[in-house]
Amino acid sequence: MNPDEHLSIYPHDVHRFSTLSLEEWQQGIVLPVSKPLQWTSFDVIRKLKPQLPVKKIGHAGTLDPLATGVLVCCVGRATKLISTFQEHLKVYCTTFTFGETTPSLDRATPVSQTKSWNPMSESELEAVIESHFIGTIQQVPPMYSAVKKDGKRLYNYARKGEEVERQPRDAYIESCKILDYNGRQCTLKIVCGKGTYIRTLVDDLAKAVDSMGVVDELQRTKSGPYHIDEAWDIHKLCDALKQVKTV
């Protein structure tokens, strides 16, 4: 499918739902959705599917339950574009804390380790980021992830307290800018490629400055051309979809 053949519908296009034909839905619709906190990416798909006049729906990039932000949902033949959308650059904003960590590397699990740390200056931290975390880097997938090992998801091992060997993978970081830093907490804006684990990036950065790090908040603010400011609230989208013609 040609990427130009699908129709993207944003909140300001809400009137379009009352006029779309079944054929147009089948041809392909893209709905950028703002994933709520504590929802899985599949929760969004599961919520939308009964509201749609076609059966095919998928998303172009998983977000952790504690992450929020843009989830690109593809309907009908637009599902054939998922792999194309996954290759688009993503933009994330994350706030994390130095000096402690958790098994999941975010606040989904309790603090498991702490480490005293003498904070460095913002310029020193920027220098570490620029020298070690820009371009193609290597990341070991976190244990709390959906990557498979011997046919099982890593999070299944992690939930039993098991840790298994994982192979490092390439990740691409186009830019990583400090938005706020007080010596204890730091907020970063990250532009990156497919398959980048922000939790791992934070963990690796903290280790690079002889500390530990845990993600407090994470939001995907952009996925390819889709920006959080133009993404649907999931509940408002479900209400809007009540206008959809089913024949």
Residue 165 exposure: Cα atoms within 13 Å on the Cβ side: 1
Quote the tokens at residue 56.
């095919």
Quote the tokens at residue 98.
């130095």
Of all residues in the chain, what percent are helix, strand and coil, respectively (each to 5)? Answer: 30, 30, 35
Q: Cα(12)–Cα(182) distance, rounded to whole angstroms?
A: 38
| Nearest-10 Cα torsion for 103, 115, 178, 106 | 20
Tell me if 125 sits within 8 A of 186, measured CB to CB.
yes
Is position 233 annotated as part of the catalytic site? no
Helix ranges, 93-164 (H): 122-132, 154-159
Instruction: Check 64, 106, 170, 216 and give the catalytic one.
Output: 64
Q: Cα(122)–Cα(120) distance, rounded to whole angstroms?
A: 7
| CB-based contacts of 16, cutoff 8 Å, min separation 6 | 7, 9
Pairing outcome for strands 100-101 and 113-114: antiparallel
Q: Which amino acid is at 214?
A: V
Helix ranges, 99-182 (H): 122-132, 154-159
Q: Cα(35)–Cα(62) distance, rounded to whole angstroms?
A: 10
Catalytic residues: 64
